[in-house]
Structure 1
Amino acid sequence: MSQKYKIILSGGGTGGHIYPAIAIANELKSRFPDAQFLFVGAKDRMEMEKVPQAGYEIKGLWITGIQRQLTAKNLMFPFKLISSLWNARKIVNSFKPDVAIGTGGFASGPLLYVAASKKIPSLIQEQNSYPGITNKLLAKKAKKICVAYDGLERFFPKDKIIKTGNPVRQGLLDIKEKTVEAKDFFNLKHGKYTLLVLGGSLGARRINELIEKELDFLDMQNIQIIWQCGKLYYQQYKIYNNTKNVQVYEFLNNMDFAYAAADIVISRAGASSVSELCIVGKPVVFVPSPNVAEDHQTKNAMAIVNTNAAMLIKEEDLDADFENKFSQLVASPEKQKELGDNIKKLALVNATKQIADEVEKLLKNNK
């Protein structure tokens, strides 16, 4: 008979925190069909929409991160933190979880802190090669810390670390078989190069500016484009939809088809994106965001580039280097194959199952 465990999860702000949490929940649900799940996110962030779409209940906390510059939002942070801790305590007291799982993002701090203070076993899933301040603080009380990169004992207690990789959407594991179907799904021409442009769920301003500027260049290279410009930029760039072999999307719900259709990918280097691209095994040009804590996207990308498994162009070098580097890559099927083969060797495909194994141990040890 399936155990009626209560499992609470928190992660959000971006797709990179939300989808790993959903993937873990789905795996645990398949093991414990009678378990009860509750997500905790930040009010007004995308998890409040995406988690219910995945079939789970979510409660929102009034919380945001600390801004790097001195702003009015920072003045509100202490009040938001107190409010979030108070509400997280109410949620935990009411739900009475058997285990708490955090995948990063603003809301996971208050929720995991409260859970740990009530002796509820907690697991942190750290996606980046350089952890944020929230997970560094939470690590002291967490029972297990699942990581995707080597060398994190610099930040976390070594005896708690398990290298699992990052959870990814299960549909990505068999994309090779979907290429023809995917090209038809996007109405793409077979036999013509397809470029997939990804800037994260909200969008990447600098990547969008680059693609707009290089549309004529890419058209001359005879390339068709799937351009996910993001929620913040869709109104600005949708005018290019169905012009010069371009398809513009606010958000791609069928990521398995998008990856399957692509020959080359231009992407940010958030942890989840990097993990997915390793599994996908296509040649990638990383354009890391320089506007993130500790410049962790550059560190994530360099971990791949240093094994000759991807290319990297910094934002500041895009105007000078993009056309030259990109045209060289397009002109060299050998280089494309080399990058694709090498990045696939870095894939950790069993991450979701391994993390669920660790959660299961915590549940059984707590009974």
Structure 2
Amino acid sequence: MKRPIVLAGGGTGGHVFVADAIAKALVASGETRDALGFVGSRRGQESVLLADSGISLTLLPGRGIKRSLSPRTVLDNIGAMIGLGAAFVTMVVRFGRNRPRAVVSVGGYAALPAGLAAALWRVPLILVNIDAVPGSTHRLLARVAVASCVIGDDVDLPHPTVTGAPVRDEFVQIDRSPSGRQAAKRTLNCDPERPLISVMTGSLGARSVNLSVLELAGAWSARPLTIYHVCGSRDFTEVSSRAAHIEGELEYRVVEFEERPGVLYQATDVLVSRAGALSIAEIAVSGVAAIMVPLPGAPGDHQTKNAQSLVAHDAGILVSDGDLTAQRLGEEIDRLLNDPTARANIEENARARGRSDAAERVATVVMSYV
């Protein structure tokens, strides 16, 4: 049996989607699915999102380390370290048996045990870093990595190759022509003649964004628009309940999770989003005019830096979480809706920053080491 190529990482949907995109590119390059393996976290979404991949999945214990010295956090971090230690032992034993041809880390705490085990067994370790600022896992693994796939020349990791951030095929294939947008709106059962504002802030959602959008929907209830609000699981019950009381010309759609994000991006006239690395990559590849609200307190403030990578090229709008209100959000959306030329320029600039072949570029780097 062929020695595997292992794709490790997880804990968030962003990591999982990147690993899946790379796996598909490796299969397209000639690898078989039984010669690949995923390593992820028991606490993450891997078991659901990768269930139909046809690739073996190993789920590890452990969790991320929290940055706090409170007694509760210290106890949680002790438990996290024990879990990561157990995960490392599991990977050392596993890699000793099957000696992978390469290990690819997409980041997140689930990648750390696999990366360290790869170093112990002298297996080539390739980092795929899609954030503007490397996370703690990749800063640690950088010392033993043979290559780093990065989104730009300014990312501080060793042996870099600029590949861009791998995204799902459905974003690469988007048709954002006027007819394509109308067709996507019909697919979503939305009025194809109305401007569509979409809101996407991750599987859990973002409370500050959710509440601002909810308030804005109430203020805009008489406007002939569509707001398609993917609010996430954490606030869905509250947001959907309050949204039911908003009546008027506005079409306000609240959903917990969108199973067709590519269709939604194709239909979107203005997007409101957090600024995770994968979100930035999807915005760029799709060519969507986005208002980005970075997550406050993210390690190294990496979401702000992610958003700035687009803002610096007039390819998006940044509103800090602290400045976010329904009024400010409405002003920014109106500015884009009322100036089609400015909106089209942002879309074009965003598209110029995207790399639709990023997954294939990463696969090429990986295959050069196996």
Normalising by structure 1, we get a TM-score of 0.92
Of the three residues 78, 102, 107, the one matched with 1:104 is 107
Of the three residues 309, 312, 322, the one matched with 1:306 is 312
Equivalenced residues, count: 357
In 2 relative to 1, CA 332–217 (structure 1 residues): closer, same or farther, beyond 3 Å? farther
Q: Which amino acid aligns with 1:325?
A: E
Residue of structure 1 in register with 2:199 after alignment: 197
Distance 2:24 2:335 in 1: 41
Matched, 1:272 2:298: no
* CA-atom RMSD in angstroms: 1.8
Residue of structure 1 in register with 2:173 after alignment: 174
Q: Which amino acid aligns with 1:293?
A: P
Q: Deviation of residue 256 (structure 1)? A: 1.2
Q: Deviation of residue 205 (structure 1)? A: 1.4
Secondary structure of the 2:148 match is strand
Distance 1:341 1:19 in 2: 25
Matched, 1:120 2:161: no
Distance 2:310 2:124 in 1: 33
Secondary structure of the 1:139 match is helix
Q: Which amino acid aligns with 2:20?
A: I
Residue of structure 1 in register with 2:297 after alignment: 291
Deviations 1:164-208 (A, max 9, x none): 000011122231164343212210101100011010122111111
Of the three residues 339, 345, 355, the one matched with 2:346 is 339
Whether the 8 Å contact between 1:4 and 1:32 is mirrored in structure 2 is no
Whether the 8 Å contact between 1:147 and 1:163 is mirrored in structure 2 is yes
Q: Deviation of residue 11 (structure 1)? A: 1.7
Distance 2:275 2:220 in 1: 22
Secondary structure of the 2:77 match is helix
For structure 2, list consecutive stretches of 5 or more residues without a partner in the other structure. Answer: none
Residue of structure 2 in register with 1:8 after alignment: 6
Q: Which amino acid aligns with 2:367?
A: E
Residue of structure 2 in register with 1:247 after alignment: 253
Distance 2:79 2:148 in 1: 30
Residue of structure 2 in register with 1:156 after alignment: 157
Distance 1:89 1:238 in 2: 47
Matched, 1:330 2:337: yes
Secondary structure of the 2:64 match is coil
Distance 1:218 1:7 in 2: 51
Q: Deviation of residue 156 (structure 1)? A: 2.1
Residue of structure 2 in register with 1:212 after alignment: 214
Distance 2:341 2:181 in 1: 20
Matched, 1:256 2:253: no
Residue of structure 2 in register with 1:92 after alignment: 95
Deviations 1:57-93 (A, max 9, x none): 2111111111122313123232122111111212323
Distance 1:114 1:9 in 2: 13
Q: What stretches of structure 1 move > 6 A for 4+ residues in a row?
A: none
Deviations 1:131-168 (A, max 9, x none): 1111011011111100012312xx322xx100100001
Distance 1:190 1:181 in 2: 7
Distance 1:126 1:356 in 2: 14
Distance 2:188 2:332 in 1: 27
In 2 relative to 1, CA 181–321 (structure 1 residues): closer, same or farther, beyond 3 Å? closer
Residue of structure 1 in register with 2:60 after alignment: 61
Q: Which amino acid aligns with 1:272?
A: L
Percentage of matched positions with identical amino acids: 29
Normalising by structure 2, we get a TM-score of 0.92
Q: Which amino acid aligns with 1:156?
A: L
Distance 1:7 1:238 in 2: 43
Mean Cα deviation higher: 305-314 or 325-334:
325-334
Distance 1:208 1:136 in 2: 33
Secondary structure of the 1:119 match is coil
Secondary structure of the 1:289 match is coil
Mean Cα deviation higher: 97-106 or 26-35:
26-35
Distance 2:269 2:255 in 1: 18
Distance 2:139 2:303 in 1: 18
Q: Deviation of residue 219 (structure 1)? A: 3.2
